[in-house]
Amino acid sequence: FENLNHWREEFLIQASPSDPENFPFVVLGNKIDVDGGNSRVVSEKKAKAWCASKGNIPYFETSAKEGFNVEAAFQCIAKNALKNEPEEE
């Protein structure tokens, strides 16, 4: 999580999207099933605050093992990708 700013900036440099300020990022907090969520490294509040500071990036807490919130996260990613796809003429 501490490297998220760097990863985001580096991605935007390398990918050079046409509208970097509105690129459809999504942040996932994974493995929330581990230890009943008691072993988390980053609080939900801190993650949501970071996402809000970057233009309200969608944030999902997920568990791939339990299948919790995984589908919702991928649906959000797909919808945002389609929304930002250039229209054909």
Which domains are present in the chain?
A: 24-89 (3.40.50.300)
Angle at 65 between CA 64 and CA 70, to 5 degrees: 25
Q: How far is CA 71 from CA 32, 47, 68, 77, 85, in A?
A: 15, 20, 8, 10, 21
**Binning pLDDT at 50, 70 and 90, where does residue 87 land?**
low
User: 34 with 27: CB under 8 angstroms?
Assistant: no
Helix (H, G, I), strand (E, B) or coil at 51: helix
- The average confidence (pLDDT) of the chain is 88
Q: How confident is the model at residue 89 (pLDDT cuts 50, 70, 90)?
A: low
Give the pLDDT score at 18: 86
3-state secondary structure of 28: strand
